[in-house]
Homo-oligomer: A and B are copies of this chain.
Amino acid sequence: MSRAWTAEAFYTQFEEPPALAEYTQHVREFVARHDAENRNVVLITSGGTTVPLEKNVVRFLDNFSAGTRGAASAEYFLEAGYAVIFMSRQHSQFPFTRWYSHTTNPLFDLLKEPAEGEDTVSVSQDHVQGLLPILRAYHQATRRGRLLTVPFVTVTEYLFLLRNVSQAMAPLGHRGMHYLAAAVSDFFVPADKLSEHKIQSSDQSLTLRLEPVPKVLGTLVDSWAPDAYVVSFKLETDGDLLIPKAESSLRKYGHQLVIGNLLQRRKYEIVLVEPHDHTWIRLPTPPAVPPHEIERDIVAAIAERHQAWIASV
């Protein structure tokens, strides 16, 4: 038998994450500061959420998402003058520092040890030109207080934070934007079904029963952030389902825009689906040098729509 969990019932079965109150307070202060300066504020959610299979969690379900879409978008929103609440999966891609990850381009490889008798560690000269604009943009965002980080791991943490952060953004009215790029689990194990200890391995098969996570997008649009500009994402692997599912989501939740993307082509092609229109964004082939990220075009298109929408009220 399947129970369809309502958002309310979902929240009551789990305890509030310990850091929830603290993060909520940070967001309130961040919002008040930028509200006072009439700045647009975007909440970007990024990365995948986990679904623990045990209370003392060893195993979990996860969603494929490095968080590149969200981290790249954050950089372009900052460039466009937004203040950014970056609510992301712990250890997923992070704005600016993502260019120097320890696996693809370790900063340690670019740092020179001091010469004999000196004590300065510096970036080798041939990398300064590439690093400097990124470093400057990072320092500028942090120095000016334009970037607030809120981390999550589990889908439960994500859903508590999404509710509180959305409510804390309500004072922004139409200047608030929700850019929901996180890959949120569709299924979870209810609190009362969680195994206390690590599920023991054996030579037997294991059957897991998962229940659907309630869709909170409707509650967000109707109650938490009724005046905000809300952008959701739809990731599919079957091209035939992409636009029908995006349109059905818009009809169901009544928000402003769905960004549709296919797993295989997500870095080169997306579609902006609006109630009476859809617009493809495709990167030119062959790719531009220096690399042109599709998030630059996405953010430009969305910021323009957001501005028109603010002006229209």
Please tell me if A62 contacts chain B, counting CB pairs below 8 Å. Answer: yes
In contact, B58 and A263 (Cβ under 8 angstroms):
yes
Please tell me if A251 contacts chain B, counting CB pairs below 8 Å. Answer: no
Query: What is the 8 Å Cβ interface bit string for chain A, positions 66-108, against chain B (1 contact, 0 not)?
Result: 1000000000000000000000001100101110111100111
B residues less than 8 Å from A103 (CB atoms) = 90-91, 94, 151
In contact, A205 and B210 (Cβ under 8 angstroms):
yes
The number of times this chain is found in the oligomer is: 2
In contact, B62 and A60 (Cβ under 8 angstroms):
yes
A56-B263, A236-B198 known; A122+B123 contact, CB < 8 A: yes
Please tell me if A9 contacts chain B, counting CB pairs below 8 Å. Answer: no
Query: What is the 8 Å Cβ interface bit string for chain A, positions 106-134, against chain B (1 contact, 0 not)?
Result: 11110101100001111101001001100
In contact, A128 and B119 (Cβ under 8 angstroms):
yes
Please tell me if A222 contacts chain B, counting CB pairs below 8 Å. Answer: no
Please tell me if A212 contacts chain B, counting CB pairs below 8 Å. Answer: yes
B residues less than 8 Å from A202 (CB atoms) = 212
Count, chain A residues at interface, CB 8 A: 73
In contact, B235 and A58 (Cβ under 8 angstroms):
yes
Interface positions of A (Cβ within 8 A of B)? 2-4, 50, 54, 56-64, 66, 90-91, 94, 96-98, 100-103, 106-109, 111, 113-114, 119-123, 125, 128, 131-132, 135-136, 138-139, 142, 151, 183, 185-187, 197-199, 201-213, 235-238, 263-264
